[in-house]
Structure 1
Amino acid sequence: MEDLPSYLAPAATMIAAMMTAANLGARVTGWGFVVFTVGSICWSILGIQQGQQGLLISNAFLTVVNLVGIWRWLGRQARFGDGSRRAMKRSERTPGPALVSACSLIGATISDGDGDKLGNVVDTMMSRDDGRLIYLVASRGGVGGVGEALHPLDPQAVELGAEGITTRLSAAEFDRLPVLEPDRWPAELPKAARVA
């Protein structure tokens, strides 16, 4: 039983790091901080058992930081997410425009008409003047951002939904969209990306 913290501490830290780095939403990130807390408590126990004052102090501090992360992601951000989801659902049943949360667009899956995944939204570019969506920046291919291609996507070519984004473009048409440099995006939707 005395050895349990020595196994739990690195395991919890590695699992929590993967959960938070994956950026899978407020709840997963929040639970990542819960697992981080388990890890930092185990590291603190190891610090006490082994007489390592530095390990104890640093992980006591990290425990406090992790508790703030839990509050932020499982408390505050989760409530914001719940509020935006409820507003989107209510807007579907009431007169007026159907709403979509701008935050829900980042990371959203883009699928074709058959439901096959084409990519993910990495950002949206909007007009400061009237709030219109000018274009979406879509990532296609690669693993973890390595080898991906960024494409500007015409808002006219997509349907924004509560569960994701659907485009009428085929995979071949998607691949023919202009490729954006990661640090040089255009000030307007390129003509080659416009959908009639």
Structure 2
Amino acid sequence: MIAAMMTAANLGARVTGWGFVIFVVGSLAWSLLGFFTGQTNLLATNVFLTLVNLIGVWRWLGRQRAYEDGGKSAETASRNSRYPNLFTATGISGMPVVTADGRPVGKAVEALVACDTGYVSYVVVASDGLAGIAETLRAVVREDIRFTCERLELVCDLDRFEALPSLGDGDWPAAPAGLQGALSL
């Protein structure tokens, strides 16, 4: 159960990787029980699960951890350089979103990037709700958000943000409200 919570919480490569380590220990223990009690189905299932869990360990404590560490090192190096401060694109997801005076609004769920320019078109912000239940998703145009290294700040006022139409699950627009009619081909 602990391993399941660690992997389901998606708290980063290390936590997820160590969740898979716990899964490996559990599947090895069940494999041994199956072997010593002659339960071939239990043995076969858990040998397979051990292999799957070892792939999870390799992926999360190996490759994904290296990716996250690389991104973090670039972020840290940028703070002490003459170049602009950086944060990873994957870091946008989960960043707190606040008003200009620091009041919490919600969290960033995703940023949509224009393929031709590489610039952020809009950020999807989740507000209200608890743990993803009954939350409201809104597409906030890039110009209405200021990016900082630790959070995203609304440049628009809270009333304008709350007036944005809510997005349906899995049905997000090509452009946020207000931009859809402004773009011409």
TM-score where L is the length of structure 1: 0.79
Partner Cα distance (1:118, 1:160) in 2: 15
2:175 corresponding residue in structure 1: 188
- Which string of whole-angstrom CA distances, capped at 9 and with x for unpartnered residues, describes residues 87-118 of structure 1? 12222322333222111112323234565543
How does 1:108-187 map onto structure 2 within 5 Å?
A: 108-113=95-100, 115-168=102-155, 174-187=161-174
- Taking structure 2 as the reference length, the TM-score comes to 0.84
Unaligned runs of 5+ in 1: 1-13
1:28-58 deviations in Å (ceiling 9; x for gaps): 1111111111221222122124321111111
> Once structures 1 and 2 are overlaid, which stretch shifts more, 165-174 or 66-75?
165-174
Provide the C-alpha distance between the structure 2 equivalents of 1:100 and 1:67, rounded to a whole number of angstroms. 30
User: Which has more helix, going by share of residues?
Assistant: 1
Q: Secondary structure at the match of 1:125?
A: strand
Task: Give the C-alpha shift of residue 72 in structure 1.
Answer: 1.0
* Separation (CA, whole Å) in 2 of partners of 1:77 and 1:29: 10
Q: Secondary structure at the match of 2:105?
A: strand
* Aligned counterpart in structure 2 of residue 39 of structure 1, from 21, 26, 41: 26
CA contact (8 A) 1:100 1:160 kept: no
Q: How far off its partner does 1:191 sit? A: 1.6
Indicate if the aligned counterparts of 1:48 and 1:56 stay in contact, CA closer than 8 A.
yes
Aligned in 2, Cα 1:183/1:69: closer, same or farther, shift over 3 Å? same
Residue matched to 1:77: 64
What is the distance in 1 between the residues matched to 2:136 and 2:143?
21
Q: Which amino acid aligns with 1:91?
A: S
**Which consecutive residues of structure 2, in runs of 5 or more, have no partner in the other structure?**
180-185
Q: Which of 46, 60, 68 is equivalent to 1:59?
A: 46
Of 74, 87, 93, which aligns to 1:106? 93
Larger mean Cα displacement after TM superposition, 86-95 or 16-25: 86-95
